[in-house]
């Protein structure tokens, strides 16, 4: 069996597409592990719990993601919604990490 993951443009079967999507999902989880490690660091570094939520920074992160998505040809509004959820989840995680310390 061929273990090669094809680029999306090279896929000719749904099996190939699904293998590619599953691989990307594994890679995304690995990236989320890295991102949440930074949330652990932020919870360790920030002096007060009230510093965990930073609305100007949240807006900047979402705007950056939207701009990068649009530059790559992806739908900016949809990516902004996705990133809003990611940032809110990260904030909740960081709050829990802060409370554990």
Q: What is the pLDDT of residue 2?
A: 74
Q: Is 49 annotated as a binding residue?
A: no
Three-state DSSP class for residue 38: helix
Phi, psi of 5 (to 5 degrees): -95, 120
pLDDT tens by residue, 2-32? 789 999 999 999 999 999 999 999 999 999 9
Structure tokens at 81: 């919604």
Q: Is 35 annotated as a binding residue?
A: yes
- Which domains does the chain carry? 12-100 (1.20.59.10)
Q: What is the pLDDT of residue 14?
A: 97
| Residue position matching structure tokens 């999306």 | 8
- In 3D space, the residue among 26, 21, 24, 23 whose CA is nearest the CA of residue 13 turns out to be 21
CA dihedral over 15, 80, 28, 92, signed as positive or negative? negative
Q: What is the pTM of this model?
A: 0.89
How confident is residue 1, by pLDDT bands cut at 50, 70 and 90?
A: low
CA separation, residue 78 to residues 28, 40, 60, 75, 83 (Å): 17, 27, 16, 6, 9
């Amino acid at each position: 069996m061929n273990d090669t993951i094809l680029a999306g443009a090279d896929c000719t079967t749904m099996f190939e597409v699904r293998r590619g999507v599953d691989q990307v999902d594994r890679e995304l989880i690995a990236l989320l592990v890295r991102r949440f490690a930074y949330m652990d660091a932020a919870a360790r570094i920030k002096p007060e719990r009230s510093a965990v939520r930073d609305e100007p920074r949240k807006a900047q992160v979402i705007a950056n993601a939207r701009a990068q998505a649009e530059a790559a040809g992806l739908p900016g509004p949809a990516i902004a919604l996705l990133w809003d959820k990611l940032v809110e989840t990260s904030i909740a995680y960081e709050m829990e990490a802060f409370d554990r310390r």
